[in-house]
Amino acid sequence: VCARAAERAQVDENLSIAKPLRVLLVEDNLINQKLARTVLSKMGYKADLAVNGQEAVNMTLRNRYDVVFMDIQMPIMDGLEATKWIRQNEHITGSSPTRIIALTANALAGDAEVYLAAGMDDYLSKPLRIEELRKALSRVDQVGENVAAKSADETSATQNAIRELSEQLSPEDAVSLALDFSADLDAQIEAIRSSLQKGAIDEARRNAHSLRGNASIFALEDLQQAARAIEDACANAQHDVAQEAFGRLETVAKSSVVLLKKVIMDEGSADILERMS
């Protein structure tokens, strides 16, 4: 028996080594909190804790979690409402979706459809069982894995965009257009910053729309999403959300310029870049 228990614990611990996930537990009941965190701990995971849906929403804005275990029935804000807010914030900021797993004491027929409709990905019955939890965690992709796959897709899309521009115009003109875009990007970012700082929401929306259009020429999808998040926030007069989305735009803009120049180099246009520098 001891050997089997030790073997089971080792398997569980190996999962946390293979998948070093950042976990958020959202649960208001003290006993359920202790049970869930103990089970997670046996598998090598240390979970952050939120005691209601509002806390969970706030914590997911401040931190990036790979998986959220969400109780359904809670005071202040329940799990379904919290999930809707988290998904809305992810859409606005352009963040990769966190896997949200419902925790329910008595799942009834039709409940799964309700959870999925709210934006949840999976559900587990309470009290938690190690084997069920292990299966649920094994289905979670780490944020880094999602980002890496998305980055590869964007690189491929930008490569195709540069090739099409080279065919429609010429390789020299395609490179020149890309360099003009890169050189002007800081000014476009600054225009959006200035508009937001002075509270000119409609102006900020127009500036973000213009940037998104320019980014689409080169299939810079992350940059398009970041600009679109500001557009949407401004269209809904959500100044605070627009400010938060702007922080992501600044980060994405830098990586987009690096990506664009890397693609140009990979496409064999290094000699053109050298002649134009």
Q: Both tokens of residue 106?
A: 């008595």
**Which amino acid, residue 57?**
V
Sign of the alpha-carbon torsion through 221, 226, 229, 231 = negative
Q: What is the DSSP letter of 121?
A: -
End-to-end Cα separation, the chain, in angstroms: 71
Which helix (H) or strand (E) is 57 found in, with range? helix 53-62
**For position 9, what pLDDT does the model report?**
41
In one-letter notation, the amino acid at residue 166 is S
Q: Which domains does the chain have, with CATH numbers?
A: 2-141 (3.40.50.2300), 144-276 (1.20.120)
H or E element in which residue 48 lies:
strand 47-50
Q: Which pLDDT value is given to residue 258?
A: 82
Which CA distances in Å does 195 have to 58, 72, 119, 130, 253? 26, 40, 33, 52, 18
Are 205 and 231 in contact, with CB atoms under 8 Å apart?
Answer: yes
Closest by CA position to 185, among listed 232, 245, 242, 255: 255
Give the per-residue pLDDT at 152.
Answer: 63
Q: Give residue 239's identity as a one-letter amino acid code.
A: H
What is the pLDDT at residue 77?
A: 93
pTM, entire model: 0.53
Tokens 């259009």 appear where?
213
Strands of 82-211 (E only): list them: 99-104, 122-125
φ, ψ dihedrals at 25, nearest 5°: -105, 125
Per-residue pLDDT of the chain (277 residues), as tens digits, is 344 444 344 445 666 777 788 999 999 999 999 999 988 888 888 999 999 999 999 898 888 898 999 999 999 999 999 999 998 888 766 677 899 999 987 656 567 778 888 888 888 888 888 888 888 888 886 544 444 444 566 788 888 999 999 999 988 898 889 989 998 999 999 999 999 999 999 999 999 999 999 999 999 988 998 899 899 889 988 888 888 888 878 878 888 888 888 888 776 655 555 554 4
67-71 sheet: strands from edge to edge: 47-50, 23-26, 67-71, 99-104, 122-125
pLDDT score at 115: 84
The pLDDT of residue 39 is 87
pLDDT reported for residue 268: 60
